[in-house]
Structure 1
């Protein structure tokens, strides 16, 4: 049986119980592969304030590295330049080489969407370090001592919560929910692989996470249905026993029920996305 606590103690000395070096040094390329799958290819929409963009890199950003670069050069940007720009802009600020495998992916992808400082602050909040947005010795120690799978999952949950507070959430919620779920599952799979867990055990753990998420989604879907039924009963009962229904009370109950239902439906959808992502990660082992 995999001993996570013993693994984390081994991390402090630089090795897992199986002798695998655990620092994520050199893991940028693997993390970037997941990030770029969501950042898209070439875009040059005149209505887009960001202007011409290739693989998430704007022309303005590219010109900071290659002064005077043209749109054609951006469109044909070399893979080495893409990795360098993401490395300097996102990997280095989160100290990706010093984070555990999987935690580096979850933090980097968050940073690409919302800025490295915000990503690091939420990582710090998850592990109980001062949230100053800078990865120092104290933050690294807290991350290393934490349960890395839980760190990844909590960080992704915080990221999604932040996204839900944005004005454009309604427009992008489906894609964002799937992206965060996919990153979470791939990050956990990455962590388990580098922890030295055998492939069959990794599959079992990832499938267990998928089933857990599926159960949560079903419970929340059922809860939404129950809340809807309860709201109808509450409103009908009030109207039935009163010669003059208290419409303000009924409206208030309906509003509360609507909010509860909306929250449960959103959470159910997110857990469905997580279940699908973990299933896919398990199949990829």
Structure 2
């Protein structure tokens, strides 16, 4: 750990992560101080070491994982004070790619590249061109919170995630403005991993399309029956009966068509918001 802010940032990340956890609804599974069993297994394999429980992770292993897989992955040493910590904490909780995407989107027109979760020269240049780091941190945290609200785990972990993001925002902005940042506090649930794979499913437009199509077809059929009614008008009883059928069919068809179109619009808008929030928009 070479940079002073890296050490201070890590201290706050570890406070948010707590100790060992293995909540059945946490997609990270068994986790110790923010390091999942899967990440620890990969680290041990890369060292040619036997696999073991993440509960046994040493301080040196912990520091190496955080340094290489999170701080270096987001190029923390090249980011301004406060922004480095905010992006680092997001990387630990949701993966470096997702956290970098929040940064890229938060940069707005300053960043002209693709929102791809890869922090290259273009992203660094855009950050350096930003003259209001306090506001940038606000936008990054807003992006993160919107992402979290679209995850299946929000009902279970939403309170903890919200508290964590609020503290990350406050700590990051303190650093950005030259103030002394507070220490982080552990809130149960805030340590749960928040991965894009856990995103809610977009509503299907198939029922809406079927309803709208059926309604349009029904309206067409009611027109055909209306024409038949006019041809049978000399036969008053039959004509009256067909008239009632036409009225009912037209009403039901109109409800189906309007309802189907309305729900289809709602479903497509919700799917679009989900794609934007989770970074899966094409």
**Is TM (by shorter chain) over 0.5?**
yes
- Residue by residue, what CA displacement relative to the aligned partner does 1:187-242 show, whole Å, maximum 9, x if unpaired? 1111222xxx6x7xx99xxxxxxxxxxxxxxxxxxxxxxxxxxxxxxxxxxxxxxx
Residue 64 (structure 1) aligned with residue 22 (structure 2):
no
Gaps of 5+ in 2: 183-254, 256-282
Deviation beyond 6 Å, 4+ runs, structure 1: 45-49
**Over aligned residues, Cα RMSD in angstroms?**
2.6
| Match of residue 115, structure 1, among 57, 79, 95 | 95
Q: In 2, are the aligned partners of 1:39 and 1:55 still within 8 Å (CA)?
A: yes
Deviation at 1:25, TM superposition (A): 4.2
Give the distance between the partners of 2:73 and 2:172, measured in 1 at CA. Answer: 19
Aligned length: 173
Q: In 1, are the aligned partners of 2:134 and 2:173 still within 8 Å (CA)?
A: yes
Q: Which residue of 2 aligns with 1:31?
A: 9
Q: How does 1:32-111 map to 2 (within 5 A)?
A: 32-43=10-21, 50-66=28-44, 67-71=49-53, 74-111=54-91
Q: In 1, are the aligned partners of 2:25 and 2:153 still within 8 Å (CA)?
A: no
Q: In 2, are the aligned partners of 1:29 and 1:83 still within 8 Å (CA)?
A: no
Deviation at 1:26, TM superposition (A): 4.0
Q: How does 1:116-131 map to 2 (within 5 A)?
A: 116-128=96-108, 129=111, 130=113, 131=115
Which structure shows the higher helix fraction? 1
Q: Which residue of 1 aligns with 2:118?
A: 134
Give the distance between the partners of 1:114 and 1:154, measured in 2 at CA. Answer: 17
Q: Which has the larger radius of gyration?
A: 2
Give the distance between the partners of 2:15 and 2:64, measured in 1 at CA. Answer: 17
Query: How does the TM-score come out when normalised to structure 2?
Result: 0.55
C-alpha change, 1:79 and 1:120, in structure 2 (3 Å) is same
Partner-residue secondary structure (3-state), 1:101: coil
